[in-house]
A = this chain, B = another copy of it.
Amino acid sequence: MKKILISHPISPKRLEELSSDFQVDCIQSIKTKYDEVLDRVQDYDAIHCIGLKADQRIMDKGHHLQIISNYGVGYDNIDVYYAKSKGIAVANTPISTSRATAEYTLGLILSLLRKITINDRQIRQGLLNDWSLSGQSGNSLSGKTLGIFGMGRIGKEVAHMAKVFGMKVIYYSRTQLDATADQLYGARYVSFDQLMSESDIVSIHAPMTAETYNIIDEQKLKLMKPTSWLINTARGGLVDHNALIQVLQEAKIKGAALDVFPDEPLVPEALLSMDQVILSPHNGTGTKEDRAAMFEESFGNIIAFFEGREMSGRVC
């Protein structure tokens, strides 16, 4: 019987539900997650990986390890190259995470442009007593150009949702979609530099890899219009945050909505007092419904793997 270790505490009842054809165990404490997995991994065939740094040490100790299944679409917590070299499969959850993240992206765009977050804060603080016609007013989405960086599953979903608000969509991605897809999503392929300079809103939907680390750097940020906004629901590491703070301080861009940061849960101090910024706790897939779906998908990938069926997202 195959043995699966879940890198997160789970209720005994839920564990029993999951343990029909497999032996399923979980760790006891989130705080000692890494050490506990390292200590126990040698007995397991699979790790169900919830926010666990799955590195070489864990893979070296996991002599029987055949698969690491990630709860989440971004898998920069897993040393994929090393896994590949050891013949360990890595899976992720592209299906359950896409709609949730796209939905959240639109939520951030609307909150930022329409000033929902800051107005709510200022009303509570007693700072907004004059509801005159322009003081608290924002900008419409309609007619704005949304630039999507990374046109994968999430980017496409964002494009689809943005159209209903009357936005024009341009995108840059490693590979251009075929003409049918461009038409389907009403999106126009542009160069990286064009994306930065033509967009009213730049939204990041690329995975973090060695190639994309700090790819939105000072030079790219300075291509953006002073009337433009940056949205990041992907990974903090894709954006040079020192450069971002500088362009925000110098009003070289109009604002940003940031769901991710380079060193979470730390939020760079300078951002905490910026009214033109929305700060969010890595919540792109943060709904009860989507997290349940992500669990089903990621756990289901382990079962599919052992039963020889195709997984929803195979990284390697």
Known: A160-B164, A283-B136. Is A265-B131 also a contact (CB below 8 A)? yes
A111 interfacial by beta-carbon distance below 8 Å: yes
Report the separation of the CA atoms of residues A195 and B143 in the bound assembly, to the nearest whole angstrom. Answer: 33
Is B140 a contact partner of A287 (Cβ separation < 8 A)?
A: yes
Is B123 a contact partner of A267 (Cβ separation < 8 A)?
A: yes
Known: A103-B142, A137-B291, A287-B138. Is A120-B265 also a contact (CB below 8 A)? no
Report the separation of the CA atoms of residues A267 and B124 in the bound assembly, to the nearest whole angstrom. Answer: 9
Q: Which residue of B lies closest to A275 (CB)?
A: B124
A161 interfacial by beta-carbon distance below 8 Å: yes
- A111: chain B residues within 8 A (beta carbon): 107, 110-111, 116-117
Is B141 a contact partner of A281 (Cβ separation < 8 A)?
A: no
A173 interfacial by beta-carbon distance below 8 Å: no
Is A131 a contact partner of B289 (Cβ separation < 8 A)?
A: no
Report the separation of the CA atoms of residues A132 and B264 in the bound assembly, to the nearest whole angstrom. Answer: 11
Is B110 a contact partner of A272 (Cβ separation < 8 A)?
A: no
A119 interfacial by beta-carbon distance below 8 Å: yes
- A180: chain B residues within 8 A (beta carbon): none
Contact of A110 among B106, B121, B139, B267 (CB under 8 A): B106
Q: By the criterion of a CB under 8 Å from any partner CB, how many residues of chain A are at the interface? A: 61
8 Å CB contacts to B: which residues of A153-191? 160-161, 163-166
Is A103 a contact partner of B99 (Cβ separation < 8 A)?
A: no
Is B289 a contact partner of A142 (Cβ separation < 8 A)?
A: yes
8 Å CB contacts to B: which residues of A49-108? 50-51, 99-100, 103-104, 106-108
Min CB–CB distance A156 → chain B (angstroms): 13
Is A289 a contact partner of B139 (Cβ separation < 8 A)?
A: yes
Report the separation of the CA atoms of residues A124 and B123 in the bound assembly, to the nearest whole angstrom. Answer: 16
Q: Which residue of B lies closest to A163 (CB)?
A: B164
Q: Count copies of this chain in the complex.
A: 2
A290 interfacial by beta-carbon distance below 8 Å: yes
Report the separation of the CA atoms of residues A279 and B290 in the bound assembly, to the nearest whole angstrom. Answer: 27
Is A278 a contact partner of B136 (Cβ separation < 8 A)?
A: no
Known: A99-B142, A111-B116, A140-B103. Is A124-B287 also a contact (CB below 8 A)? no
- A287: chain B residues within 8 A (beta carbon): 113-114, 137-140
Known: A50-B133, A116-B111, A132-B30. Is A141-B283 also a contact (CB below 8 A)? no
**A-B CB contact pairs (8 Å), 16 listed:** A99-B142, A99-B166, A100-B140, A100-B142, A103-B142, A116-B280, A119-B279, A128-B281, A129-B265, A131-B282, A134-B288, A137-B287, A138-B283, A138-B288, A140-B290, A143-B289
| Beyond A103-B141, A110-B110, 20 extra complex contacts between A and B, CB < 8 Å | A8-B133, A99-B142, A99-B166, A104-B114, A107-B107, A107-B114, A108-B116, A110-B111, A114-B287, A116-B116, A116-B283, A117-B117, A123-B279, A123-B280, A134-B291, A137-B286, A138-B286, A140-B289, A140-B290, A160-B164
Residues of chain A at the chain B interface (Cβ within 8 Å): 8, 30, 50-51, 99-100, 103-104, 106-108, 110-111, 113-117, 119-121, 123-124, 128-134, 136-143, 160-161, 163-166, 264-265, 267, 272-273, 278-283, 286-291
